[in-house]
Chain A
Amino acid sequence: MKFLNCRFAVFISLCFLVPFLRYEAQAIDRSDNLALFPRRIVSLAPSVTETLFALGFADRLVGVTTYCDYPPEARQLPKIGGFMNPSLEAIFAKHPDLVIGVSGATDPISAREMERLGLNVKLISLANLREILNSIRTLAQLLGNPQAGEKLASKITLKIDDVKRRIELARRRSVLMVVGTHPVIAVGGKNFIDELVTLAGGENIAGNSSQPWLNLPDEYVVAKAPQVIIEAGMGSERENSTRRWDDLKSIPAVREKRVYAYGSDKILRPGPRVGDALAELARLIHPECFSSNKGYAGTPCERPKP
């Protein structure tokens, strides 16, 4: 009996090892694929979809996520699943020659599975403004039209520079940017939105956190006394999310009525509309620098043009 038990135990243990055995698909020679420009692209993120549309490659898109809703034409494209959980089958069925995801957002396990199935997967990093602009150039190059990439990147850079100029001399204002109401999720540090806030002449009160999104308690907000509060959660424009701060009158933003609701779709996409988003943010943080009478009670916003 003891001998049988022993063999049985060994057998069971071996059974447990089976799922962990690795099998490698045959190494695919990928260099060929990249020599020809990809013609069938699947996008795994709304920002990627927007970038491809802005670069003029919309006709090459064969699959997008269910969240890809800008530009409106993107909604007509075939869907391959959600943002966090794209459907491998749907992707594979489109026979793409390039799948583009976002590192940090696209599930790395899914990405690896796709590669194992023989698909060409590229994950781009969109963690800050520089990377966003670089990704535009990289994608343009990858798809065979580097000039389009340069043009788009320049256009965005121009917008950014315009904003920078307008608010150059304005005093920085402390800002709280909220992207979720219940619980209150604030934009933290190491987040491209944080970078936008800084560029827009603001100082993110949660900006020195190492986390991109923070669950911020109300008392912390009161203590940090932001001068501007921007409610950028989903649907906050339609809603009264700004009113939730009304009773905390010690906060300068509440006292001076600088609590704004801002529809979040532009902001949350590290894509080609980032320049517009920056402009709108700056308009909220420093409205005095964007009015027709430049300047605000004598305080200059920008250096006088020579």
Chain B
Amino acid sequence: MIEVNGTLIVLLIASAIGCSLLGPVRIDLARVIHHFFSPDPDTEILLRTRLPRVLLGMAIGGGMAACGVVLQALLRNPLACPQMLGVSGGASLGGILGLIFFPQWLLPLAGGLLGEISWVPLAAFVGALLSMAFIYRLSLFRGRLHPYHLLLSGVIFNSFIAAVIMFLNSIVDFYQAQGLLFWLMGNLSTRAYLTVGFIGAYVVAGFLWLWSKGLALNLITLGEETAMQLGIEIGSVQRQVFVAASLMIGAMVSVSGMIGFVGLMIPHVMRLIVGSDHRLLLPASFLAGAIFLSWADTLARVLFAPAELPVGIITAFFGAPFFLFLLYREGGKKLAV
């Protein structure tokens, strides 16, 4: 456990440095160090436009991966991912409504301006909370959340939300539609350390809590009855995990839109490396997700510079073939049943 996580932590730090140094504009590191405290273009590029973004990417990548692991256990389904829960759909819709109907064009998440309220992430989070409550209510039966109901209601809810979003897309003007699309495809651009710090703390706190439930998650994957017989109060664990994961996903989607694929792929990749014990899988997935998303975002920034690709495209484009390759090589003996 130490070796794997230790390696990942080292990789994480290296990624933070590496990703901050890469971008469409070349910066001179010597200048940065020399001008650290004065307004210098290179310093500002590194510290104000790149670093917050890299850190946000790590927080969200880690959070999405951790939620993916947890949801796959909760739903006992290897195909589960954060998107399925319906919470991300609600958050997206909330954010889009905030984008369209609030008179303010998105108040910038500018750094150094405490007291500046951003409506869109707040609206998105409210959307997340409402949809979480709705799906929770739908799936609760005799004190337990049935995986089947959770899955179905999440998927159907998402389809409904998608239809509403498409409708909104057809009635907004060109620039709002651009914003809408950008939001839907995921977008890590931020300069506010306040936002990054807040989300980072939220995600890390959530991850630590979920990690403490690692043993319970192991048992839940054996089946509801078995879990009960091995001593897990399954109803309460399910409810708590659902709420924790939903809150995390809601917060993440509120800030960056829905970045897909990380929550589906990273758990599987890490499962092939460290096994299915959630006490190992959770931290490993968290770290791996952080590393993966920060590099994916770097690629998104650099590939067609100066234009930026939505990071969700990169995660799918590069994630899928890599995963297939890994599956081909190792999957034979370690395929999930």
Question: Which residues of A pack against B, CB within 8 Å?
Answer: 67, 82-85, 179-183, 185, 211, 214-220, 222-223, 225, 233-236, 238-241, 243-251, 255
Contacts and interface: CB of A to CB of B under 8 A. Distances in A.
A217 B175 contact: no
A247 B191 contact: yes
A218 B179 contact: no
Given A182-B182, A250-B44, A215 B308 contact: yes
Nearest to A221: B49
21 contacts: A67-B173, A82-B173, A83-B174, A84-B174, A182-B108, A183-B178, A183-B182, A183-B189, A183-B308, A217-B24, A217-B49, A217-B301, A219-B23, A222-B41, A222-B48, A238-B104, A243-B108, A244-B110, A246-B112, A251-B44, A255-B39
Nearest to B105: A235
Interface in B33-47: 39-41, 43-45
B17 interface: no
B308 A185 contact: no
B44 A249 contact: yes
B114 interface: no
A181 B118 CA distance: 13
Tell me whether chain B's interface is mostly helix, strand or loop, or mixed. loop
A241 B105 contact: yes
Interface string B170-185: 1101111011001000
Given A83-B173, A235-B104, A183 B306 contact: no
Contacts of B103: 235, 238
Contacts of A247: 48, 110-112, 191
B174 A219 contact: no
B186 to A, nearest CB: 12
A218 B191 contact: yes
Contact of B105 (A181, A211, A214, A251): A181
Contacts of B189: 183, 217-218
A84 B103 CA distance: 22
Given A183-B182, A217-B189, A218-B191, A236 B105 contact: yes
Q: List the 3 closest pairs (A to B, CB-CB), nearest first.
A: A244-B108, A249-B39, A218-B49
A219 B24 contact: yes
A246 B106 contact: no
Contacts of A248: 44, 48-49
Given A182-B120, A220-B24, 18 more contacts: A182-B106, A215-B307, A217-B189, A217-B305, A219-B25, A222-B41, A222-B45, A223-B25, A233-B175, A235-B103, A239-B107, A241-B108, A243-B110, A243-B116, A245-B110, A247-B111, A250-B41, A251-B44
B278 interface: no
B83 to A, nearest CB: 22
B264 to A, nearest CB: 26
Contacts of A250: 39-41, 43-44
Nearest to A255: B39
B92 interface: no
Interface in B134-181: 170-171, 173-176, 178-179
A180 B110 contact: no
Given A218-B189, A250-B44, A185 B306 contact: no
B118 to A, nearest CB: 10
A234 B102 CA distance: 12
Contacts of B171: 82
Given A216-B306, A247-B112, A185 B24 contact: no
Nearest to A184: B189
A248 to B, nearest CB: 5
Contacts of A82: 171, 173
Contact of A225 (B41, B175, B187, B306): B41
A183 B256 CA distance: 12
B113 interface: yes
Contacts of B179: 180, 182-183
With a 10 A CB-CB cut-off, give which of A82, A238, A244 has the most chain B CB atoms: A244
Contacts of B113: 243, 246
A225 B45 CA distance: 11
Given A180-B179, A185-B175, A215-B308, A223 B41 contact: yes
Contacts of B24: 217, 219-220
B175 A246 contact: no
Contacts of B268: none
A244 B308 CA distance: 19
B50 interface: yes
B197 to A, nearest CB: 15
With a 10 A CB-CB cut-off, give which of A84, A181, A216 has the most chain B CB atoms: A181
Contacts of B107: 239-240
Contacts of A182: 99, 105-106, 108, 120, 179, 182
A181 to B, nearest CB: 6
A223 B48 CA distance: 13
Contacts of B173: 67, 82-83, 234
B307 A214 contact: yes
A82 B40 CA distance: 46
Nearest to B104: A239
A237 B2 CA distance: 55
Nearest to A186: B306
Contacts of A223: 25, 41, 45
A247 B49 CA distance: 10
Contacts of A225: 41
A37 B74 CA distance: 72
A31 B305 CA distance: 50
A220 B306 contact: yes
With a 10 A CB-CB cut-off, give which of B108, B113, B305 has the most chain A CB atoms: B108
A219 B45 CA distance: 5
Contacts of B23: 217, 219
A75 to B, nearest CB: 16
A251 B43 CA distance: 12
